[in-house]
A and B are shown apart, each in its own frame.
Chain A
Amino acid sequence: MVALDTQSHRSRPRVAFRLEGWAVFALAIALLVLAPVLAVVHPLITADKALWQHLVDTVLARYLVNTLVLMLGVGFFTFVLGVAAAWLVTMCRFPGVRLFEWALLLPLAMPAYVVAYAYTGLLDFAGPVQSFLRTALDLRPGSYGFPSIRNTPGAVAVLSLVLYPYVYLTSRASFLDQSVCVLEVSRTLGRTGWGSFTQVALPLARPAIIGGLALALMETLNEFGAVQFFGVDTFSTGIFRAWFGFGDYRAAAQLAAAMMLVVAILLLIERFSRGKGRIEHSSRRYSRLKPYVLSGGAAAAAALFCAALVGLGFLIPALTLLGGALEHLEALGQAEFYYDVWHSVSLAALAACVAVLIALGIAYAERLQPSPPVRAAARTAGLGYAIPGAVLAVGILLPLTALDHGIDALARLSFGVSTGLLLTGSAAALLGAYTIRFLAVALNTVEAGMARITPSMESAARTLGAPPSRTLRLVHAPMMAGSLFTAAILVFVDVMKELPATYIMRPFDYDTLAVRAYQYAADERLSQAALPSLAIVVFALAPVLLLSRAIARSRPGSTSDVVAGIAPRLEAA
């Protein structure tokens, strides 16, 4: 072996900040991401004591309690389901384990509101389950009680079923990493399997599990469609009602500010409980621990548990949607459906391109100048993921409306012409919202891809006469085409599924698949909501399949771009 003189590369030197093009770009994007948050926590809005008092007197307590109950419930169930599933598939062998390893991810393709519609349709009075029971048991309508799912426990169940994969994904990766390092030692020191799990594996996986939980909880906070449909009043639905129901923009903004407080606390808890959190494994040998081979009842129970998760979280709702869609095949003959598809796809594709380009620029800025301000800017740019869609919509629309009124007033004063509202309700504003919210997804994927290009590539290109922009275009971009594509797909699908920001911000009479499904469901026309819902799921399956392929091939110790993209780092600036 030759000793390598690579110290200067390894010890990331603290680079001094210089105000250059790429750094300015990263800082500008970071400001852009922060702008909507600043807009809703602006003192003009938060300082109105009378309005606060009114909110406190009327709705705030209910929103807060409902939101917290929802988060506690979803937190508990996603933790138990996700960690248990991850432990079973990494440490045990039972029939179907290779299949479950990736199939457990399928619920990721299901937006929570879609699952909510599906189960409601399945379990309500006219649905197949009750109809079957009535026929089979010869019951008369009204003579029996059947539990409703349109309440808080129902919302917790639905959200847990689609969000547990976040915890599953992160804890599985952590269990795989630690297997040989310590678990073998723990067992040779006389711990049983359960003892090893609770005393060694679980504490070691804590940072990863908390990361996954934080993601699941942010999705819970963001969720609008499902909780609205189930009649659970949370911050999201409250903002929505204030905005549309009462046209009270200031109340909507104050609720948004309160919601950002919950987000900030969540981020702080996440960061705090990770603590010095980066557990470095002392051993770099990756050979998998010999798994426990389950047999008989234990094997059946494990397989049943995993099958139940996949079935309840994906198969049953998907089949229900399919049934509903088949009932309304005539919708396929109507232009409306294709307009919806076109709107969804074009918005999602545009947002994906914009987000990936911006992410590429930021990742490259960070690479050219890893100075503290640029790194902080990159982390800030990734924070958009933590801003709930409803907050984002309010935070963007408020300043835009003010700007529009300003332009309109100016135009009337100077030219006597009313310009109307130029920016508010434009597709550009909506595109901006998508970009801010899903930039983190693109950024993490792109950063992971760029990290694999050795620094000597750009040194070579630079000394060969290519300035940074040319280097990025001719060397980095083609070399990381795969990562860029992955990032684009992830953003594309997230935009397709997005509901609250789309609903609030979309241009007049501009419907997408998500909006259409929501509107049908709001009119209690559940079987008609099935077709647009199913279309979303079909699109959303693409990245999940990509992800499961990556997982099937993944080796311990390596993180694929897809994993990096789905589980964005939640480091606060």
Chain B
Amino acid sequence: MRRMGLLAKVYMVLIFSFMYVPIAVMAVFSFNESKSRSNFTGFTLSWYRNLFRNDMILSALGLSLVIALVASIIATVLGTMASIGIHSMRRGARNVIMNISYMPVINPEIITGVSMMLLFVVVKNWMGGKIFGTPTLLIAHITFCVPYVIFNVSPKLRQMDVRMWEAALDLGCTPVQAFFKVVLPEIMPAVLSSFLICLTYSIDDFIISYFTSGTLQTLPIAIYSMTRKKVSPEINALSTIMFVVILSIILLVNANDTRKQKKLASRD
């Protein structure tokens, strides 16, 4: 690789600081003694202590994590099945279905959120009972996650050689066995990455959750509602912890990958 010129280096530093300086500032102020977000008055860990005693924030975090996990698992399974179905359609039908599944992604979130809420209200009036809460939140999150899975998995399916699948059948696999032994391993990277995308979108989502959560609240809703008074530094502390956890998971995964690759390389 060619060595980088000065300009390229400066550019890279700029881009990275653009992404990471805000996070660093946030982390620093989670240790600030006063509530101020502009003056650093002294070091303290009390925001972290308060955070772990704050039931409201913790239960909001818990709900966000549970919804994100369950919704992304279901959405990944549904989306993968959908892409396989779409893949084996005729060309015309496939184009139509693909374009329809684009719609929720292009749609502004607020439209998705409001229309889902209206739908749930209709269902509630029709069936009676309390449906708003975890079920509606889950349905909404699965709904907006599925298209992302389809767009991630479909290209991978197109890359796959269909003859591999046929060969597996020729060699005596049942269609189900052929799917799990040949097709799934082939598209696994795409399935995994779409699972992660769903997870992040679901944890991030504010607008759609706001309209469909009933009397529950996810973490983004809890944080947003603090803006009349002042967002508490406990949120800085929580965000710092989440950042560190995610960063360490990524580092661990990458370290694992490199080790595997080295092993492969040494075997060759």
Task: Verify that A and B bind, or say they do not.
Answer: no
Binding site for B on A (CB under 8 A): none
